[in-house]
Structure 1
Amino acid sequence: MFKFSIVAKPDLISKKCEEEVKSTLIANSWIYDENDPYYVIVIGGDGTILRAIHRYLDKIESIRLLGIHTGTLGFFTEYNCEDVNEALETLINKRYILEYRRMLEADVLTKDGKHMFYAINEMRLENIMRTQVIEVAIDGEHLETIRANGVCVSTPSGSTAYNKSLGGAVICPGIEVMQLCEVAGIHHNRYHSLGSPLIASDQQTFTFTSSDFRDISLVFDHVVANVDDVIQVDTRLSTRKVPFLRKKGFSFAQRLRNSFIND
């Protein structure tokens, strides 16, 4: 007897799938508990997965996430809505594999003190109002001065998300690294930075500072942090991990083909 909750995309297909999942599990003596679940079944796309992770962030290591795809992109989700019976059978009989994905963590120093934030995909510093000048350091040593709309630091999980649209590399899960990309960088004979993605180990820290972070947006996955007067942001791979339930025999190559190539 297990406790479970459901986070579903608010559309008719997802809601219908939600009703089927809920009724089936309750018929098998499972308990629906939104406050303290062991299993969290996510019905939707990758955006719904992100919403579920941040909803249960305070207890993320003690839950198990299973994704059922009804959205536009299902890189995190394991089953399609047509496979809901297979997904439930796998869940009830525990015929799954656990896969842990590491999160990013960021120490954000402001005039009010330090604030900690987490992301499974990426952390972004972005300024949509003007060109943002950002000083970048690795482990306290200055690397470069970036002039751009901002920067994006992603995990291997996030390498197929916003990072990919910036020209970053797709990184296989299990490789414990993070990746830094510029967002709309400016490069000419006066201003020039590395201008390519930079991959750092899980032992390293990126530090971002600026003489003027005015109008900056600090974004963790889909969540815009409510902080003002940012002084410094230190970003690294966290020891916190998100546990996903995976289908046996479903490879990373299959996941890439299904999501991006569709051949």
Structure 2
Amino acid sequence: MKYSVIHRGDDISFQLMQTFHTLIRERGLHHDEANPDVVLSIGGDGTMLHAFHKYKDQLDTIAFVGIHTGRLGFFADWKPDEVEMLADMMGESAQQNDLRVVKYPLVEIQITTPQGIETQLAFNEFTLKGVDVTLMAELHINDEPFETFRGDGICISTPPGSTAYNKSLGGAIVHPSLDAIQIAEIASINNRVFRTLGSPILLPKHHHCDIYPRAGQNILLSLDHIIMQRDDILSIRSMVAAGKKVKFARFRPFPFWSRVREAFIGYEPIHEKKP
């Protein structure tokens, strides 16, 4: 089994990477930055996003795993003091040639400009915002006109990304076993000219949403942590990415709702579990 490491750049993450290199070498795994089987992210969720975009063209052959040294680390299963346990389990998995993974859906974005169509993938979310003035756009769902939007912007998230920016916009948290995308408004303006639903929308796979911004509008796009400013966009199509998912290596169980509870609630039970 081959592995690579991406770290956040701080001293703790760098030292943890050095420790991991030593431990995993003793267990027979080989360091390969170009063609790894497992990519280890050491840091927070931003580090995981960097890892995803670095290897997004190799998703069929790569699984990700995270050690959390940041503030939240929603996608990291491991803590710094568990690095030796992770190395042990990766070594056992390599010996048995048995890498267990979970797969999460992604959102595909097709940006149409006068020059052609650009296709992008996002792991968490894709957002569209006005720069100089509020965003004005027509939304079509499955090629049918749906609403006329004016406001700060639009956020389109994946199920794993539903716990990020989408959640702060009042969107639902969606289990990543569901192949869907969620559309959430960012401070929409509603009057007799501009009318929106005012609620987040879930679209299943095989459905798509087209956004037609006002011609020549200066727009700020973000794909996860990647930000770009454009004034040449004719339309943007968003949908569940067909045939592409991000894989996470699971060396021990970590249920999604337990992850949500620990990240946002820190629940302490009132009653003890019955035997």
**Residue 254 of structure 2 aligns with which residue?**
250
Show CA shifts across 1:146-187 (max 9, x none): 111111111101100110011100011201111000111113
Distance across 1 between alignment mates of 2:253 and 2:118: 40
Deviating beyond 4 angstroms after TM superposition, the runs of 4 or more aligned structure 1 residues are 225-228
Report what 1:33 is aligned to.
32
Matches within 5 A, 1:139-154: 139-154=142-157
SS at match of 1:212: coil
Matched, 1:182 2:185: yes
Per-residue CA shift, 1:178-213, capped at 9, x if unaligned?
100011111345533101101111110000002235
Aligned match for 1:261, one of 256, 265, 268: 265
Take 1:189 and 1:82, find their aligned partners in 2: how far apart are those partners?
A: 58
Contact 2:28 2:91 in 1 (8 A): no
Q: 2:51 maps to which residue? A: 52
1:81-230 equivalences under 5 Å are: 81-94=80-93, 97-188=100-191, 191-225=194-228, 228-230=231-233
* SS of match in other structure, 1:172: coil
Residue 247 of structure 1, CA deviation: 4.3
Aligned to 1:74: 73
Specify the code of the residue in structure 1 equivalent to 2:71.
T
Q: Secondary structure at the match of 1:83?
A: helix
SS of equivalent to 1:123: strand
Task: Tell me which amino acid in the other structure corresponds to 1:144.
Answer: E
The percent of aligned pairs where both chains have the same amino acid is 33
* Superposition TM-score, scaled by structure 1 size: 0.95
SS in 2 for 1:169: coil
Instruction: State the one-letter code of the partner of 1:133.
Output: M
Instruction: Measure, in 2, the Cα distance between the counterparts of 1:72 and 1:129.
Output: 33
Gaps of 5+ in 2: 268-275
How far the C-alpha of 1:119 sits from its partner, in A, is 0.4
CA distance in 1, matches of 2:4, 2:210: 37
Instruction: Decide whether the 8 Å contact of 1:135 with 1:145 is kept in 2.
Output: yes
Mark the runs of 5 or more structure 1 residues left unpaired by the alignment: none
Q: Counterparts of 1:72 and 1:57 in 2: how far apart (Å)?
A: 25
